[in-house]
């Protein structure tokens, strides 16, 4: 997968289309990502102790990886991801628009 935890991504489909956020979690087997503050869902939480009230908590739900696009930290544009090999066989991601290392 070309997107990693901590990357800034742009949502390109869905109810939050056009918003940016930071990737919190990646689920590779399902090809999904969880983005901070996007695709929020409400969860009803039961009271744990006597006298405590139940509450409704908003949590980010997983998104399909095809609905997000990486934002380059250098040029701040949404971009495709490429790879480049160094002489000592190390592989790193590059921005397809400006060529900077991500």
What average pLDDT values come out for the chain (102 residues) when binned by 10 residues? 94 94 96 96 94 94 95 93 91 92 90
Q: Are 11 and 67 in contact (CB under 8 A)?
A: yes
The shares of helix, strand and coil residues in the chain, as percent rounded to the nearest 5, are 5, 45, 50
Q: Which fold has domain 1-71?
A: SH3 type barrels. (2.30.30)
The Cα–Cα gap between 6 and 57 comes to 23
Residue boundaries of the structural domains of the chain:
1-71, 74-102
* pTM of the predicted model as reported, rounded to 2 decimal places: 0.85
């Amino acid at each position: 997968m070309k997107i990693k935890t901590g990357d800034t991504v742009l949502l390109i489909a869905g109810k939050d289309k056009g918003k940016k956020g930071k990737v919190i979690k990646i689920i590779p087997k399902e090809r999904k990502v969880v983005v901070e503050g996007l695709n929020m869902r409400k969860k009803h939480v039961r009271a744990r102790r006597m006298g405590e009230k139940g509450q409704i908590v908003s949590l980010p739900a997983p998104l399909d990886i095809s609905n997000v696009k990486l934002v380059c930290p250098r040029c701040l544009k949404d971009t495709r991801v490429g790879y480049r090999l160094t002489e000592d066989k190390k592989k790193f991601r590059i921005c397809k628009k400006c060529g900077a290392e991500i």
